[in-house]
Amino acid sequence: MNPMEENKHHGMKDAMEGQFLPMFSFSSGMGQEVLPDLYCYTNQIVNVCLVGDPEKTDEWVLIDTGMPESVNSIIKVVEDRFGENSKPKAIIQTHGHFDHVGSVVDLVEKWGIPVYAHEAELPFLTGKQSYPEPDGSVEGGLVAKMSPMFPNEPVDLGTNIEALPSDGSIPHMPGWRWLHTPGHAPGHISLFRDEDRALIAGDAFVTVKQESLYKVVTQEEEINGPPRYLTTDWDAARKSVEKLEALKPAVAVTGHGHPMSGDELLDGLERLVREFDHIAIPDYGRFVNRKQ
């Protein structure tokens, strides 16, 4: 990082700068109001959530920040929904993978708002620790094969990020709580609202088979475990899915794939818990330690 670059970001370091991955541009720009106060915007291959009802409040929060080089598309979605020059009270990161923090440095710079994440995820958001290289050898399709070119370097949010409150509450999200759902990443969280059983699951599970480019393109729906090429702890990932299934969510937005609700969601989650070995865990891969 040259000093000019560093300076441009007010002490923050944006490892995602210039990391545009054009092969993922097919489903960009789609948005969906899942609930009156839960809007899901698909930024290339990844979902970003805007939580807060624009009719009722200007207190709203952005969950995750999409792919690298997406700041302008995110701002457009935000301003279309909440009005010109509006900004969230905070950004919550479900975890720090490149496809979820892609625009976080740019957005913090523009909005000057705090970012919150789980304590265990902070090293990956303050430039202290890199994720392991994605596993291109993992059982799976083309996206898994391409995954070694995905950036694994951390962004550095410096003093703009802090740990989520330890009591499970989420700043500026009354009624919601966060749950630690590690496995896919050490400090991965999911967000849950008991009142209507709405779930924002990040990558703890997804509703599309993320390894398969065909299924990513067609967004064929099926509940799957976390994206394989970046999941390093499958035992923890299994427990996290069990924890989320036990909540019996009524509607879920996951990091990848379409929002899902009702029986399709409940049945899919139940099946994922029951057949986790078969559905989620790859047959081979660097992070898999299968007992034969």
Contacts to Zn ion by CB under 5 A: 97, 99, 203, 255
Q: What is the CA radius of gyration of the chain?
A: 18
Nearest to Zn ion of 66, 268 (CB atom) = 66
If DSSP states are collapsed to H, E and C, what string results for 46-111? EEEEEECCCCCCCCCEEECCCCCCCHHHHHHHHHHHHCCCCCCCEEECCCCCHHHHCCHHHHHHHH
Structure tokens at 261: 């609700």
Q: In the block, which residue shows the tokens 């708002």?
A: 113
CB of 6 to Zn ion, least distance (A): 26
CB of 287 to Zn ion, least distance (A): 13
CB of 167 to Zn ion, least distance (A): 26
CB of 56 to Zn ion, least distance (A): 30
Nearest to Zn ion of 60, 205 (CB atom) = 205
Distance (Å) of CA 32 to CA 7, 35, 113, 247 = 37, 9, 25, 23
Nearest to Zn ion of 34, 143 (CB atom) = 143
**Rounded to whole angstroms, how far apart are CA atoms 255 and 66?**
9
Angle between helices 262-274 and 234-246 (to 10 degrees): 140
Nearest to Zn ion of 99, 106 (CB atom) = 99
CB of 131 to Zn ion, least distance (A): 9
Nearest to Zn ion of 44, 172 (CB atom) = 44
